[in-house]
Amino acid sequence: MVDTETYKATVEKVTAASNQAFKDGVEKTLGALNEVNTLSKANVEAVVESLTAATKGAETVGAQAAAYTKKSWEEAVTAAKTLSSAKSVQEVIELQSSYAKSALEAYVSEMNALTETLSASFKDTFKPLNARMTATVEKFQSYR
């Protein structure tokens, strides 16, 4: 038969081991929750940074488009005035051809500039999100 002291010692060992295991489990859980909280905060900050960049890009594109539209309209009005003062059909054809050529060149140039602006804006917009995705993947891989 097991004496009382042995039984008492065994119960104390089991209790101490259970308490330690519980304490370790709680600490790991709190650590994981803290880490998730930190990751979530960083993710929210990345989204805010991304939205800020997208807004700035949209403003830049809008301003660029408005400036081009204004300039294009002014050039069209000037061309119309010039055409109305032409003295012959030949002069009208030459003036119209010249205007059409310059308007097309300006359009192509503006579309190239707009493409560059949009490309830079997309890069700036997705840069913080890509950084967070990379950090998250690296964090998950570190648990392997």
Q: Tokens standing for 113?
A: 């500039």
Q: Give the position of tokens 């997309």.
A: 122
SS3 content of the chain, % helix, strand, coil (to 5): 95, 0, 5
Tens digits of residue pLDDT in 119-132: 999 999 999 999 99
pLDDT tens, residue by residue, 18-66: 888 888 888 888 887 888 888 889 889 999 999 999 999 999 999 999 9
Compute φ and ψ for 86, nearest 5 degrees: -65, 145
2: left (phi over 0), alpha (psi -120 to 50) or beta: beta
Q: How far apart are CA 63 and CA 70, in angstroms?
A: 11
